[in-house]
Structure 1
């Protein structure tokens, strides 16, 4: 469940840091009762970026399929990569 804290809680940086690392979720900061900031650990941020990149690649692949673009066989791709990088 998302954590929501008032902006004055940012004064205690150690507590905020620990909370972000323990929950592994974004921490929502409010100002005058309205959403203002989102704080998260670097690990959570990097995971979020990785998921976003994956979703973008999946959407691109689905668009290519929908547009009738020629598909490449997965086994052929891996064989080519192994040959290119010297692993057999």
Structure 2
């Protein structure tokens, strides 16, 4: 179940929040009725970021092997063309 709590619960009800995130569920914290942050377990965070870090490492290795470089404008132009099917 989606857990949305006021940010004050982080201080006042830490053990409750801790038990939720230990179960693998994130807790969304609000400040003045607006989203402020998300609290999650280290395991869940690692699960979300490990593949991204792996892909970035692959990109670094590929870049080391290929000396061709493009500007960020050229890269985004290529991405836009690819996304738009041109």
Give the match for residue 50 of structure 2. Answer: 50
Which structure 1 residue ranges, 5 or more long, are not aligned?
70-88
Indicate the structure (1 or 2) with the bigger Cα radius of gyration: 1
Aligned to 1:28, what secondary structure does the other structure show? strand
TM-score, normalised relative to structure 1:
0.55
TM-score, normalised to structure 2's length?
0.56
Q: Matches of residues 1-88 of structure 1 in structure 2 within 5 Å?
A: 2-10=2-10, 11-22=12-23, 24-57=24-57, 60=59
C-alpha change, 1:51 and 1:3, in structure 2 (3 Å) is farther
Ranges in structure 2 where 5+ consecutive residues have no aligned partner = 67-86
Q: What is the number of residues matched between the two proteins? A: 64
Paired residues of 2:20 and 2:26 also in contact (CA < 8 A): no
Find runs of 4+ consecutive structure 1 residues off by over 4 angstroms.
none
Distance 2:46 2:26 in 1: 12
Return the alpha-carbon distance in structure 1 between the equivalents of residues 44 and 18 of structure 2.
12
